[in-house]
């Protein structure tokens, strides 16, 4: 079942009753709205005047819903995560922490090869220069020692948008604002999937920084970034003004968890596919498999 993403941009009071999320608007006098908690995959809180009861927070976490909070710039800045995300969590932590360096390098090779391949397929779909990316995807070595990721990224961003002088930079000109928001949502979904699979999102296979609590999420989301890029491309083509990240634009980007992706020979919602990816990652850590399941961009 596809989980729902709820976005709150206005003041609201969120509570729970009979396993339902109850949305009240005390200052506006609107009728209460009710959503089954089991149907919720993500809750995005943007307005500082939103109140949540502790009972609701507990039920959301127990149902593995990602609760994402936004900062003053309206960008996701935190995610609530459970202390126990899987019944075999301790054993899975151990397998992850004892993973060998050669295994991690191999997993990173698979990750970057999948990312570059998907970037090439996206450029092909847009009738852009893609042949170099297709070749580079097959040349990635263990640990990506030749840094094909960076070389491919430079080529990809130079060719994707028909915007003169566009550079992919977090604080750069639009549509960087759309990409930032989309990637933040994707990162939260990835962290949720990792926790549900009993893995530590802060212990990466490549990314490592003592200040980064989601290093593994940053690793595993790489081949999935293409779906944010694809959605942003469509928005750029259709929208006249993307300078401001409006509520309408955010609503479009919040469709990311439900996007259809092709993984292991089947179509699946992105949020479900990520759970398959993170579980396959555990199987690699546990020496049950040598292959991570990543989506193939179609």
Residues placed in the known binding site for Mn(2+): 149, 207, 222
Nearest to 46 by CA among 95, 6, 7: 7
**Does residue 94 sit in helix, strand or coil?**
helix
Burial class (CB in 10 A: 0-12, 13-18, 19+), 203: middle
Annotated binding residues: 149, 207, 222
Give the whole-angstrom CA distance, residue 95 versus residue 199: 9
Burial class (CB in 10 A: 0-12, 13-18, 19+), 101: exposed
What does DSSP say about strands 33-36 and 266-269: parallel, antiparallel, or unpaired? unpaired
Long-range CB pairs of 21-30, under 8 A, 24+ apart, other chains included: 21/56, 21/60
Q: Would you tell me how many other CB atoms lie within 10 Å of the CB of residue 116?
A: 29
> Alpha carbon of 84 to those of 89, 140, 190, 290: distances in Å?
7, 36, 16, 26
CB 221 within 8 A of CB 190: yes
């Amino acid at each position: 079942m596809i989980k729902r993403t709820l976005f709150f941009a206005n003041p609201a009071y969120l509570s729970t009753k009979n396993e339902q999320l109850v949305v009240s608007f005390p200052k506006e006098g609107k009728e209460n709205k009710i959503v089954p908690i089991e149907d919720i995959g993500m809750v995005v809180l943007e307005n500082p005047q939103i109140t949540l009861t502790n009972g609701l927070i507990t039920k959301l976490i127990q149902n593995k819903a990602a609760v994402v909070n936004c900062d003053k710039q309206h960008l996701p800045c935190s995610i609530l995560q459970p202390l126990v995300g899987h019944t075999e969590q301790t054993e899975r932590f151990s397998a992850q922490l004892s993973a060998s360096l050669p295994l991690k390098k191999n997993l990173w090779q698979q990750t970057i090869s999948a990312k570059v391949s998907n970037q090439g397929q996206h450029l092909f779909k847009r009738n852009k220069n893609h042949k170099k990316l297709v070749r580079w995807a097959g040349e990635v070595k263990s640990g990506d020692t030749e840094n094909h990721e960076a070389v491919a990224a430079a080529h990809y961003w130079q060719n994707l948008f028909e915007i003169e002088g566009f550079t992919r930079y977090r604080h750069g000109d639009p549509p960087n604002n759309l990409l930032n928001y989309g990637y933040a949502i994707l990162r939260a979904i990835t962290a949720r999937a990792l926790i549900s699979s009993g893995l530590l999102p802060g212990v990466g296979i490549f990314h490592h920084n003592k200040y980064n609590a989601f290093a593994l999420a940053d690793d595993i989301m790489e081949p999935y970034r293409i779906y944010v890029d694809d959605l942003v491309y469509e928005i750029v083509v259709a929208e006249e003004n993307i300078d401001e990240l409006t509520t309408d634009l955010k609503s479009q980007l919040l469709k990311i968890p439900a996007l259809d992706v092709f993984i292991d020979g089947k179509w699946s919602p992105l949020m479900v596919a990520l759970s398959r990816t993170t579980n396959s990652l555990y199987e690699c850590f546990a020496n049950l498999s040598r292959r991570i399941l990543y989506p193939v961009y179609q």
